[in-house]
């Protein structure tokens, strides 16, 4: 084990999950890139029904000045930056980059493969029909992704970003309980972790940090999809 990995493991223990409760509440905002803000706002506001929350232009900076937000911030000044309400008290944001910027491979390491939005059963069917009515191709689904009732379908936004709508079709319209609906028990999770590591101490540490909930009277933990 190299020094960096050992340090990361040490730090992880110091800030490890206590009793299966996350340290963070969730997403503040997810920032994506477009080269056509009007087209993007049309799609997310008019088709997916996300209200606009805030709009601005990123600040210009004097020549040679360092970027306020550091490495990883947009390399362009004075570009549109808009925020949309994607539900759950979280924001979806877009930067409008100049035309001609190269697209990226969504399946590359470090890339964002897709974004999945949660909704209740009625809204799931409503959005599916709204997308079809607006000529948006559904490229996978509707399909059962986690038995017995978690269903989803996939499509692309006008920028080529892969999106998913997910719903527990046996669930409540408003109280979505996403974590609970995506859960598995400790035995199942241990079997999955066994496929990626033979380090028993590490597996035990991961299982100790499970998100635990009760479904049908059994302990459960997060299942990825």
pLDDT at 128: 97
- Taking residues 40-51, report their average pLDDT: 96
| pLDDT for residue 186 is more than 70 | yes
| Range scoring the smallest mean pLDDT among 32-41, 66-75, 109-118, 162-171 | 66-75
| pLDDT for residue 65 is more than 70 | no
- The CB density around residue 167, as the number of other CB atoms within 10 Å, is 27
- The H-or-E segment that residue 4 falls in is helix 3-14
Residue 16 pLDDT class (50, 70, 90 cuts): low
């Amino acid at each position: 084990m190299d020094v960096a990995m050992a340090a990361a493991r040490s730090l992880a223990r110091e800030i490890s999950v206590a009793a299966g409760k996350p340290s963070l509440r969730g997403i503040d905002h997810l920032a994506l890139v477009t080269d056509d803000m009007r087209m993007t706002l049309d799609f997310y506001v008019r088709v997916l029904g996300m209200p606009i929350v805030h709009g601005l232009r990123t600040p210009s900076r004097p020549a040679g000045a360092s970027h306020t937000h550091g490495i990883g911030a947009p390399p362009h000044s004075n570009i549109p930056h808009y925020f949309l309400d994607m539900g759950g008290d979280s924001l979806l944001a877009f930067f409008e980059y100049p035309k001609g910027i190269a697209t990226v491979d969504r399946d590359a390491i470090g890339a964002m493969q897709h974004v999945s939005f949660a909704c209740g059963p009625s809204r799931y069917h409503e959005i599916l029909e709204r997308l079809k009515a607006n000529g948006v191709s559904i490229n996978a689904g509707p399909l059962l992704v986690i038995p017995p009732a978690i269903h989803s379908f996939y499509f692309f936004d006008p920028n080529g970003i892969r999106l998913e709508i997910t719903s527990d079709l046996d669930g409540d319209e408003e109280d979505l309980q996403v974590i609970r609906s995506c859960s598995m028990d400790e035995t199942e999770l241990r079997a999955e972790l066994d496929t990626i590591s033979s380090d028993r101490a590490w597996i035990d540490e991961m299982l100790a940090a499970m998100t635990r909930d009760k479904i049908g009277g059994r302990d459960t933990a997060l299942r990825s999809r």
